[in-house]
Chains A and B, each alone.
Chain A
Amino acid sequence: MSHESSTTPQVSASFDRRGLFRIGGLTVAAAAFMAACSDPASSAGELGRVGNGQPTPTLPEGDVNDGVMLRTSASFETSIADAFQRMVDEGLLAAPSTTFPELGDQTELVASFIEHHRKSAETFNQLALEAGAAEPFTCGNPRLDSAFIDPIFERVLEGAPATDTAKEIAPSDDPTRDMVNLVVTLELLSAATSQALVPQVTQPSFRAEAMRLAARSARHGALMSLHINPDQYVTTADLQNANPAATTTVAPTTTVQDIAAPETGDTTAPSAPPPTEIPKPVAIPSQYGSLAPITYIGGAGDENGVRLKLNFETPSLNSLTYDFTTCE
């Protein structure tokens, strides 16, 4: 009995005032110790890093606003002007074309296009500053240059080296054809870029100015298309829509291979596959201004006859020249 009476007070004594002071002191000490061990850089409450690795880089915030969109348009215009300048400087438009023997030298015409695109870039940069951009973007679009324009020049002029799985590809069989087609493609892209800008900027004045410039680019593309393909003003599809009675029921073949054709029996000499067909440009390629990808096909075919094929698109998140994008 006396033993029981002495046990009860001993238990309660472990949580008495002195014990609580000790617990409190230990708690504060432990918290101070852990706080001291934490990474001072992570003041937002993140746990400290273990080891000596580099801290995770913080990517800049990519705000998309009127200034960024207009800077991007300026960069596209500069890229186009630079591409045309290279064609003129290297004489790529002067040589006769085997595909288009009646084409003639297009150097003077394309040289006149350069001035328009340089002025367009200046105008877009000026509008970007009005829209609040910190500074203009005076060089070409990095994405358009590196992923589209430079590879085309490389493939057309130099071909492609052999790899472990593919044979070497020769330079283009008709560089002039590929360059004039690139002119048409880039003019279509210029017009489409301005058209795509219209619902993306907030000020009507920006839209009107962009489309004033787009009209000129569209006409460049139409004129160059008529130099390449003088008899084709409208597409067959648009013509058939306008004349429903004239439509034909015979669908054109979509492939050169016809598996239903009877075998000739001559299997001794397999011929090289035909190269990818390059469609001729049309002055009025669609009833409305199109924002669909613009397909460019050029260069010599590879061992299977496949030429370089790229789809040019209007600016998107990976090709915008954000405020932090610089000309480096």
Chain B
Amino acid sequence: MLEVIEAILSSTLDYAPALIFAALGAVLSERAGVVNIGVEGMMRVGAFAAALAALALPTGIAAGAGMLAGAALASIHAYLSIRWRSDQVISGMALNLVALAGITFLLETRYSPSGTPPIVQLQRWGLGSLAAVPLLRVLSGHSVMTYLALGIPILFHILLFRTPAGLRLRAVGEKPIAAATLGISVAMVRYAAVIGGGLLAGLGGAVLSISTLDRFEQHMPAGLGFIALAAMVFGRWTPLGAFGAATFFAGGNALRIGLASSAPQVLQIVPQGFLLALPYLLTLLVLAAQGTKSRAPAALGVPFET
């Protein structure tokens, strides 16, 4: 029994980082008041760019390429929605469609339609003595991304709620006119937040192709960007909340896959489809229960006019 729990916890720690980074990216952007439907597309370009870079460079640096690719897509979104006040949902959706078809095109032109050639996967770290302690030993044997995914949410929380920069960011997302009156450049803060969100979403994508797997596959990220949005909403637009929700969703997924291999008779009673739908259903239920008290930033999706 202990081994089963450990196996599920361990695979949760492998699945979760991509989702956590992407959800944090969405939180960063939306806290500044810019809707980020484009997470899925940013993850896709991030995953692709990281896999490409890893063909030539050390895998650790390749993660940076993925982040930059995500940020590049995010900066288009930022430019359109901040400078030109385009509808943020439309711009994000357009980027999703462009990333979906554009990467397929590049993949087909350069490599096989199914994916890139395999690359050197990110190294997994053993935590030495910890490997002997029951339960805690699941922390050992993951790539650096897992440990980053456990640390960054805390840093992000401190940045957002304990520093002047975080206060400015939240002010811009809640009441931009008040922030502007205090001399804060709403546009600059929003640019920084959206592009920073792109870096995180790109990192989330990179995790898929260089840490979870060892190559980019055509279907990536297969809707994970939308689960990240669900995690953001479920976590009430806070870094720690989004982290918790993303880990919870990843745990559910690990449980589903674990059940499918070790106890298929359970899935006879509860079909996999239900388990797959669960994160979305839960998010809907929470939203419906919260009603108008939902914690979305007040200025979310509203272009700011100077």
Bind each other: no
Which B residues form the contact surface with A (CB < 8 A)?
Answer: none
